[in-house]
Structure 1
Amino acid sequence: MVLTAERLVKLAYKYPSLYNNWYVLASSALAVVNQPQEIGKVFHFALRQQLLESSVSDKPLLTDPFMLKLAEDSIASAVKYDEFTAIGVNLPDILIPYTYHDKLPLTYKYNRSEDIYAAQSAVANRIREALLKVAPIAGLPRSINALTALKKVTPNSIRPEQKPKRPCVLTPGHVRSSDLVQEDFAGTRFESDEIPTCDTLEGPVSLLSVNSETVLNNTVRGLDLWQAIYGKIGNRVKNQMFNAYPDLWQYAYNNVYGPILSFTDIVSAKETSFVVISALIPQDVNPTLKGHLKGALNQGASKEEIESVRCLTFDICDWSGNVSWKNGKESVAKL
């Protein structure tokens, strides 16, 4: 077991500047160190813990018995929900147990059910988005495993909608009605002589299926993010990638920075920098990490926040037992 009740409470309260996003970063780091089965514990604790005020009470939170009890119950519910999913049982909402709801050392943020639902939906969406952003940084299989593990322990009421959060670059089968000539079980068809059509897993597509505005927005937004992160050395870094392999730059710009990293409707630009840092640290890639540490500053992060991200990620790495650095932990880049 990587995460215990004590460790969960430490992740949530050891680093005060990360109160609103510790669970996002912990989930990202767990995905990268290949411990996806632990993400559910973080998730269930965050679903409850984020309903509490962040103000520091007189009691020491790291050793508070009822906060530890909340973490223990979250670990237990994550395991139970995974078992429920395996047998096809609907997963109920996650709430703070009534037996000790009035004994916790922090007050409650919400008293209306709709506010609780909104807060917990945000927690789920933010973890999902962070795990997606990990994909180009640490590998698609890591994100697939992490998001699959997360879904298994997600209450039915806050599971993801069956449509993408990002505007689609390609919309299969959606064209002007004047261009339609046939629609059957195989989907929309176009006049083949005038509009060449290709079948895809999501339906037929043609040049008319491309959302040019989305492509343009992604391109501009990706460039803005690149410049915000790298500043004056942006062109130099771009040229290094291009000279290494032109397709590497094209991939990074058009497939990573544009549609993935620069999308900030769910996880902010500053938090995205934190996610990237937490994903880079376990991989022992100092040259890249150095750029993103400075990039986080450029995105408005404080040095305290960035150091807290490093320390939280080191916690996850140490507890996982499968991460090491060629020249030791002290060699990992920092500001």
Structure 2
Amino acid sequence: MGTEPTTATSPPAGTHAPVVMTAGGIVWRRRAGKVQVQLVHRPRYDDWSWPKGKLENGETFQNAAIREVGEETGRQIVLGRPLPGLQYLTPEGRVKRVHYWASRRARRGRDTAGLAARAPVAPVDRDEVDTAEWLDADDAAARLTRHSDRRPLDALLAADAEGVLDTRALVIARHGRAVSRTSWHGGERDRPLTPFGHGQAAALVPVLAAYGVEHVISSRWERCATTIDPYVRASGVRPSYSEYLTEAQHERSPSRVAATVGELLEETTESSVICTHRPVLPTVLDVLAQHATGSVAAGLPTADPFLEPGEALVAHIAETPAGPRVVATEKISPQVW
């Protein structure tokens, strides 16, 4: 068998072991009423594990997960809810931290926009991964080389037992960094992004693609429309622009914003993104909290500015007998290089 450790651990006290950041996905499907997951075999270690790999410069964990699973299985995936990660020491004395997501294979027709905004999948390197195999969950647990790899699988199966494994994403994005109000002499609705803000807008593209965003709605104001424009162009999606999501209209009628978010939760079946402004965020987050379980609602941002310019909050929505529920959230700060 391979030489990688089989148990999660921490570096010895007083040491400063180098940290290797990695990400991957547990790709799942349902066959004959059973959950199946995909394992990969690595000939270098002669082990069975989840597809994963190291982050490249400028990547978020989500982007790395998409790329690495594609490189090791040969197929594009769409990220779902996050799963517990792992940390362990490598034989070289480095700390490896792994972030995982429950994931499904991307499907033509359903994931058109998200796939259009991505790079093609690279061919599988058979020296790295020589087999990718679907197994029933119980068989997969027994096949895994490292016992610690069962932890994210256990969480995936627990979510399935609760009926909240199959999710879609609602991404709440705050526009990128804009020219300051004091240095802008035009109208507020036309205040543009800074060059750094344009970089943030570009960095948002692979994040939205990772979650398979197919529906875009944005404030009409320039800084929001420009923030979402790179994804619109890359994905080919037809955006919707709303006056209700602007600062001015929100001040007049927060209920209109609440209704817009409620419609995306209650009536939309695709993954979506809303791009709006800092003063609008409390109303958006309040609607999410009303649809969330107690622990998830408690984890939503509560302090101004809620999201920094260019940041995004991903809410994972599951359909339940009680209606759509937010079952997990993630905050993402795409890096600008």
* Pair in the same fold by TM > 0.5: no
Q: Which has the higher strand share?
A: 2
Q: Give the TM interval when normalised to the shorter protein.
A: under 0.3
Q: Which has the higher helix share?
A: 1
Higher relative contact order by CA 8 Å / sep ≥ 6: 1 or 2? Answer: 1
